[in-house]
Structure formats: C-alpha cells, structure tokens
Amino acid sequence: MTTSTAPSWLKSIAWATLVWNLLGVIAFIMQLLMTPEMISKLPADQQAAYSNTPLWSTLAFAVAVFSGTLGCVFLLLKNAIAQVCFTLSLIAIFIQQFYNFIVINSIELLGASAVFMPLLVIIIAVLLLQLSHRGKQQGWLR
C-alpha cells in the first residue's frame, strides 16, 4: 500500500454523503416513531406492510443507515475502517431491499416510483464502498 495525500474533493464527498446518511437515520427514526394512528391513515395494503414489518428488516434498515453514517465519519477522519462500515451498510441495504421488493413487492404496493429511491440508495452505497476501497489502495485512508 502506498501512502499519498487524499484528493481535495474527498472531504466534500464525505460531508455530502454524511448528510445523505443522516437523512437515512432520520427516516429510520421516523419509521420507528409511526404511531398506530399514523399508520391507520395509510391505504390498507400499506398499513399491512408497516404493521407487519419483521424485526430482521427493521434491523437491516438500522444497520444500513448507522453503519453508512459511521463510514462517512471514518471517511472524514481518513480512517480505513470506513470500508468495513460501507460493506456492512451495503449488505444491510440488500437485505432490506429483499424485504421491500421480494417479500412485500413494494412496486405493486406503491407503483414504479418505489424503485427510484432504493436504486439511488444502492448506487450511493456502492460508490462509497468503491471510494473507500480506492482510498485504502491509494493510501488516503489509514
């Protein structure tokens, strides 16, 4: 492994993706805080999906957003642990999306628009993992 100076854009990317992941943390907390009254205002099929979400899917959501957030913090600190965090986050995202697209068929439930955000989440997670891998190889992350 060679040691080199991190590119100037790395800090900007790390801050932007930290904000992105913090928005994921907020979405996770908002989902946890949904009351039965709030759920009752949704269409019946969405009510069933929210009310019957298995623990493993909720845990996958938590691991995805919190490990992604930690990965961004480690990226800012130029610490190679970011790669481990981003790997965990991506695995958790795939588990969560398995529930969303296979178990409850969110496309049928919410329409084709339900694909955009999960696809964006996956793309950003893959890019962060690749960035952390490259950073380790280039010596930007120690």
Instruction: Tell me which amino acid residue 26 is.
Output: I
Q: What integer is the mean pLDDT of 51-72?
A: 95
pLDDT greater than 80 at residue 106: yes
Look at residue 3 in the predicted model and tell me its pLDDT: 60
pLDDT mean across residues, the chain: 92
Q: What integer is the mean pLDDT of 59-73?
A: 98
The two counts, helices (H) then strands (E), for the chain are 7, 0
pLDDT greater than 90 at residue 130: yes
Half-sphere exposure of 67 (CA within 13 A, CB side): 21
pLDDT, tens digit (0-9, with 9 covering 90-100), for 26-49: 999 999 999 889 989 988 877 877
Measure the CA–CA gap between 66 and 17, rounded to whole angstroms. 13
